Amino acid sequence: MPGSQARCRTRDRNNVLNRPEFLSLNQPPRREQMAGEGRAGGGPRRAAFRQQSQQEDTGRRGSRDSEGSSATDGGAKEASRWPEQDCMQLNPSFRGIAINSLLAIDISLSKRLGMCVRPHGPGAPLRSMVTLLALSGHALPWLCGTLICLWRSNTLAGQEVLVNLLLALILDLMTVAGMQKLVKRRGPWDLPPGFLDYIAMDIYSFPAAHASRAVMVSKFLLNHLVLAVPLRILLYLWAFLVGVSRVLLGKHHLSDVGCGFALGFLHFNLMESVWLDSATCQTLISIGTMRWTLLI
């Protein structure tokens, strides 16, 4: 008997299925085990098993629903995180297609017309003349020139026109700078603004400040100065070429220049509607000269 017991123990040790990692193979399945227990234990154990299985199914469904809702929320957060231009629109409207097409045409034409952007490009011989033409529509020469003429003027009528012109230039400068800061549109070539552009707050592309100023000044001079017909034609041509020069230099799009022209015409009409009379202009001049005398 002791020898047979030793043999059985040795056989159990050598049996692979008795190892801990293979113990689950020797045990009967859970369903069969629970069924056997149900048969042996009767109805209460079977009812408890059903209740436990229902609770497990409910927990699994709840976890699946929570995972689905979390995935949906995560997708919504990811979609809101990306910018609008990177999202795919499966059913774009006709209006959106038309606007995007016009913007693409505007960018393509503006880049093709930027011949004077590079110093060695196809428009290199005209670069200096185009730069000088664009400088003639800058805010700094017009503001300084108006102040010098106002200081040298001796007539009441001339001072009245110059004061209103100075206010129109300031209105145009502040309005265009505010709109550019609000829209923040870059030029077709995305060139960095120069030192004079920082002074005049002409940093962004939309709308074109030079074009707006050129139209406003030309309309102002044509309305308040008696000029011959050739000079009037040259003034119109100058305003148009100032806007075109900014496109040739790659600073603005064609749409920026067009909106600048419309904005300059609007500024002229607004200034004409709130025209200051001679007495008000003299009051403003006296206040300004009083401040300068106090500083001196």
Find the catalytic residue in 138, 252, 253, 267.
252
For residue 162, count other CB atoms closer than 10 A to its CB: 23
Cis amide leading into 193 (omega within 30): no
Q: Is 224 a catalytic residue?
A: no
- Residue 42 phi, psi (nearest 5): 95, -160
Question: Looking up tokens 């002791």, which residue turns up?
Answer: 2
Q: Which of 205, 183, 181 is nearest to 193 (CA)?
A: 205
Find the catalytic residue in 138, 210, 253, 267.
210
Please compute, for residue 139, the number of CA atoms within 13 A of its CA located in the half-sphere on the CB side: 23
Q: Is 267 a catalytic residue?
A: no
Q: How far apart are CA 31 and CA 51, in angstroms?
A: 15
b/e burial code for range 185-220 (CB count within 10 A of at least 16 → b): eebbeeeeeeeebeebbbebbbbbbbbbbbbbbbbb
**Sign of the alpha-carbon dihedral angle for 165, 171, 174, 177:** negative
Q: How far apart are CA 142 and CA 217, in angstroms?
A: 9
Distance, first Cα to last Cα, the chain: 129
For residue 230, count other CB atoms closer than 10 A to its CB: 8
Q: Which residues are catalytic?
A: 210, 252
